[in-house]
Each structure stands twice: as C-alpha cells, then as structure tokens.
C-alpha cells in the first residue's frame, strides 16, 4: 500500500488549466485547483522571462485572500520565436500560421513557477527554459496535425504530450513536463522547502 505524501498545509493550484492539473496529479498530492482570472497582458518593454515569472507570482498571490491557509502554486508559460512571442492561437488558422513560422526553427518555452505561502507571505520562484527544435514541416503536415490535435489553447500551437511530439527534432531542457505547463522537478524542490515531501 502506497503511503500518501506528507502535507503540512493544504495545496492550491492557481490555474484553470486541465494540463497543469493532470501534471500535478503525477506527484500524488492532494490539491484544489482554482482559476485566478488575472490580466495576462505583458507590460511595455517587459522581457519574456520577466513576464513568465511575474504572471506565475501574480496568479499565486491573487488567491491568497480567499485561501489564507494554503500553499499556492502559480505557473505561466511564454513561448518565444526570435523576437516574437507566440500566444495561444485560439483558431485553426492561427495555429497553422504559428507552426509555419516554427518550421525549421527553434522556439524557446519559458515557464515561470511560484509557490506562495499565504500564511506567512513567503514565496519561492524559478524559471524553466526549454528550447524546442522543430522539423521542417510542409503545409499539409501542419494542417493534418492541427486538425488532429487541435492545439488551440497551447502556446506555440503544439502538444508535446500528444501527436505534436512528431513535429520536433529535439528539445533542450531539464524537464519535459515544463513543455506542458508545469515544471515538476523544480516544483518538487520548492515544495520540499515548505515541508511538503513527495516521498
């Protein structure tokens, strides 16, 4: 019989993302998930790394008043191609256009992470950086992929946990989970600092 992880405080995932909920379940922790509903627009001149970290912290702290006894996890991802940011495409046409730009190029996925203790106001933050090298893709390949995986709510318009893995040659990074939206290796270390041991 598996022993459940030790939790000193209730855990809250500040996210409405089904992908992040699925990832956090891998750790076997009890948690509640609530969408923080914040404004995710970048500030003028804000660097992509700063944006990912700021939004991760903003998400976590936005729920502190409603959950004052919780450890709150916030995470946000920004995808960058050259000097441009790739948001969630939203439509088939936008997804095809994003992947056409990514074809033969490298997209950097920056995932900000914040664990905030609402009791004492202490937080730990970190940034996971993953570089994804895309294959050269023909238009019909892109069209077939987008129709199959429908990655309309994914930054960069592909799902590495699905058929999208066939679009890439390789990736450089510490944690493949971060590509999906939640860097579990980094999160495990942060939770440990707050007394939450996965094992």
Residue 129 CB coordination number (10 Å):
16
Q: State the pairing for strand pair 11-14/71-81.
A: parallel
Separation CA 26–CA 176 (nearest Å): 13
Separation CA 170–CA 192 (nearest Å): 31
Contact call for residues 71 and 194 (beta carbons, < 8 A): yes
Q: Give me the residues paired with residue 77 across strands.
A: 111
Q: Pick the catalytic residue from 39, 50, 69, 76.
A: 76
Separation CA 112–CA 56 (nearest Å): 6
Residue 117 annotated to the active site: no
Q: What residues are annotated to the active site?
A: 76
């Amino acid at each position: 019989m598996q022993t459940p992880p030790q939790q000193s405080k209730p855990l809250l995932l500040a996210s409405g993302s089904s992908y992040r909920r699925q990832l956090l379940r891998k750790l076997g922790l009890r948690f509640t998930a609530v969408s923080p509903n914040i404004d995710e627009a970048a500030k003028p001149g804000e660097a992509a790394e700063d944006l990912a970290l700021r939004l991760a912290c903003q998400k976590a702290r936005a729920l502190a008043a409603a959950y004052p006894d919780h450890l709150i996890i916030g995470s946000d991802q920004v995808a960058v191609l050259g000097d441009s940011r790739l948001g969630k495409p939203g439509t088939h046409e936008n997804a095809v256009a994003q992947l056409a730009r990514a074809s033969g190029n490298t997209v950097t996925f920056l995932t900000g992470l914040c664990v905030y203790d609402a009791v004492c106001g202490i937080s730990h933050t970190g940034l996971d950086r993953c570089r994804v090298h895309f294959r050269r893709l023909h238009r019909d390949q892109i069209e077939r992929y987008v129709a199959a995986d429908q990655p309309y709510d994914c930054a960069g318009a592909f799902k590495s946990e699905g058929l999208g893995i066939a679009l890439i040659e390789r990736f450089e990074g510490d944690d493949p989970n971060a590509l999906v939206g939640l860097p579990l290796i980094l999160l495990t270390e942060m939770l440990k600092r707050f007394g939450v041991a996965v094992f």
